[in-house]
Structure 1
Amino acid sequence: MECLGVSSAQNLQALSALLSTQQEDDDDDYSNAPSNARLGPGHIGPPPKKEEEVPSVYFKKNSKDIWSEEEVAESSQYDDVADPRPQPEYEIILKQSVGTEDLFLGLNGKDPSSMCCEAMLVKIKLPLTKATDVALDVKEKFLDLRTPKYKLGLHLPHPTHSAMGKAQFFSEREEMEVTLPIKRPMDILLM
């Protein structure tokens, strides 16, 4: 009884021809990749087609789009053209409470993504500024800071519990730190 598959010499030759043709095509597609590079899930199937670039700024790829990506400013800050004060330097840091059960055992299912973060820390450098000169207003997704020398209107990357936030001014570093708890979509299930 002959087994279906790779038992006959004819089947082996057909398989060899099929694999050798496919190997030549693959070598052409990945010729610029390093020789020791591994193939991953993205290499399955035909290579992606290259789109033609259109020089028009107002070209819309999808007819249902109401604006193109080029028309939207990439910065997250709020610009007030009538206010000439400069924007201070700032940094947004996402904070996560991690214990040994998370680090070594992975019991709580936390990962390094922003969905597992509990709070957002906004560090704002305010040189030559006193704590009494700072006016701070925090909404769910917007932070507004005004001083006589600086202005900052910042759209926050995640919704926050603004009423539970804390702000602290460090005179020696001339820096303000605003800590805001993040509203996470799955927190309702935990309560």
Structure 2
Amino acid sequence: MEITIKKLTAELSADYFDFFDNRAFTDDSPYRCYCQMYQLSKDQGEKLMEDTRDINPGLLCKNIANQQIETGALCGYLAYVDGISVGWCNANDRASFPSEPYYDVLFYSPIPKREIAVVCFEIVPEYRGKGIATALLNKVICDAKTNKYASVVGFPVKRSERYEWDCTGPIRLYEKAGFHKISEHGETIIMKKELM
């Protein structure tokens, strides 16, 4: 199986939405989204929750993700097999995340061009365990090196057994790629791979 990884651009937004609308959550994942929440500040997230009373929340989330792709706020990589998008990784400069996030993990770090945060993976169910997440993570690392970043940081959740909807990626994924634990935040393990 040949895996192709492409950095998300506005030109690839149709592939992105095709992936999330048609393949990403076909196993009834309880976490359906468009990966837009990580880029929202606490104020933006709270306003979003207020605004969903009268409209379709899924459509609202999709519209927010579309705006984030167009402005470059939502960054990451799509994985393709046979020309079809089968995986996604949300990865961005840590300085690009909100300093007061809506989400409960602080991905933000104030120094731009220093660290890339890997915050989410979503893999089509039938492609899980086939190296898609590894290929995505390796591409993040490769591009971070090329762009002179000092490190890549991941945020896996501590689990006692395999969890099918492990959107942060399992600890062993990061360990295989050379990451080491630097701290804990509740159940989240902060892992880092130094590049310099």
TM-score (norm 1): 0.26
| Structure whose alpha-carbon radius of gyration is higher | 1
Higher helix share: 2
Ranked by relative contact order (alpha carbons within 8 Å, sequence separation 6 or more), the top structure is: 2
